Amino acid sequence: MNENENSPRPWVKRFLPLPTIIILCLAAYILFVGDNSLVSRMRYEHTIDSLRVELEAQRDTMLYYQRLNENLVHDPEVMEHVVREQYNMKRDNEDVFVFETPQPK
């Protein structure tokens, strides 16, 4: 048997010509390396999704405080409620008990 018949080189030359190999290498480079790679793209999408969730939570918080601010301006009962809760103020005829939760370390 000839030594060239057992080597994979003739098979590669026959079924994978040089332009095909170059195109496959270029496609692999584009998919797996660089800023536009598949892995980077997935990471960017994950970051965008987490930022959207955080933005929605911040928007909900902002709307809550906007409503509270409007109610504080127009409703004295709400103002009294907030002052009593936030600043531990009390009326003359009542006792206030403050419960503190331990902070996790």
Task: Mark whether 17 and 42 lie in a shared domain.
Answer: no
Q: Mind spelling out the 3-state secondary structure of 72-98? A: HHHCHHHHHHHHHHHCCCCCCCCCCCC
Range of the domain at 58: 35-89
95 within domain boundaries: no
In this prediction, residue 4 has a pLDDT band, given cuts at 50, 70 and 90, of low
What are the residues whose beta carbons fall under 8 Å from the beta carbon of 30, sequence distance 6 or more? 36, 37
* pLDDT tens profile 27-68: 888 888 877 788 888 999 999 999 999 999 999 999 999 998
Task: Mark whether 46 and 82 lie in a shared domain.
Answer: yes
* Torsion sign, CA atoms 20, 22, 23, 29: positive
Task: Mark whether 62 and 83 lie in a shared domain.
Answer: yes
pLDDT tops 60 at residue 2: no
Amino acid 64: pLDDT = 92
**What's the number of domains the chain is made of?**
2
Task: Mark whether 70 and 41 lie in a shared domain.
Answer: yes
Number of residues that this document lists for the chain:
105
Amino acid 7: pLDDT = 66
Q: Give the residue among 95, 93, 72 at the shortest CA–CA distance from 82.
A: 72
Percentage of the chain surpassing pLDDT 70? 87
Amino acid 1: pLDDT = 47
Task: Mark whether 58 and 71 lie in a shared domain.
Answer: yes
User: φ, ψ for residue 17 (rounded to 5)?
Assistant: -70, 165
Task: Mark whether 61 and 25 lie in a shared domain.
Answer: no
Task: Mark whether 27 and 46 lie in a shared domain.
Answer: no
Looking at 7-11, 20-24, 25-29, which range is the least confident one? 7-11
- Do the Cβ atoms of 31 and 37 come closer than 8 Å? yes
